[in-house]
């Protein structure tokens, strides 16, 4: 299952703090088009019915079935640039 770094959890909490339903809001990673050639990340107020839910320290990530399979052995990290823009990075899980 996808894991979240502390940086990613904090970034997700920051992004969802002002959402209409902050206690359920998170980010959703879903597949675009056929197969898993592209994944998109969007803010979500709740999971879709078939989504897998990853939660860490109050941060929620919703994964559609394709994204859940693709990211099964991955870790989600986050960072910010000098202007404060957040970017997410998928890495291999460390042993």
Domain assignment present for 88: no
pTM (two decimals): 0.89
Tokens of 66: 């394709």
Q: What is the CATH number of the domain that holds 61?
A: 2.60.300.12
Write the burial class of residue 76 (CB in 10 Å: 0-12 exposed, 13-18 middle, 19+ buried).
buried
* CA atoms of 4 and 75, how far apart (whole Å): 6
Domain assignment present for 45: yes
Domain that holds residue 43: 3-76
Per residue in 38-88, pLDDT (tens digit) is: 899 999 999 999 999 999 999 999 999 999 999 999 999 999 888 888 999
Tokens of 82: 């000098």
Which residue shows structure tokens 């675009």?
Answer: 32
**Cβ–Cβ < 8 Å for 71, 2:** yes
The predicted pLDDT at position 34 comes to 66
Domain assignment present for 13: yes
Write the burial class of residue 23 (CB in 10 Å: 0-12 exposed, 13-18 middle, 19+ buried).
exposed
**Total structural domains in the chain?**
1
Domain assignment present for 85: no
């Amino acid at each position: 299952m996808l894991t979240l770094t502390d940086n990613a959890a904090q970034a997700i909490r920051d992004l969802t703090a002002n959402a209409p339903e902050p206690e359920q809001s998170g980010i959703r990673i879903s597949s675009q088009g056929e197969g898993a050639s592209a994944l998109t990340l969007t803010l979500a107020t709740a999971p879709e019915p078939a989504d897998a839910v990853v939660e860490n320290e109050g941060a929620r990530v919703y994964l559609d079935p394709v994204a859940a399979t693709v990211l099964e052995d991955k870790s989600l990290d986050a960072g910010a640039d000098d202007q404060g823009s957040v970017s997410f990075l998928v890495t291999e899980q460390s042993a």
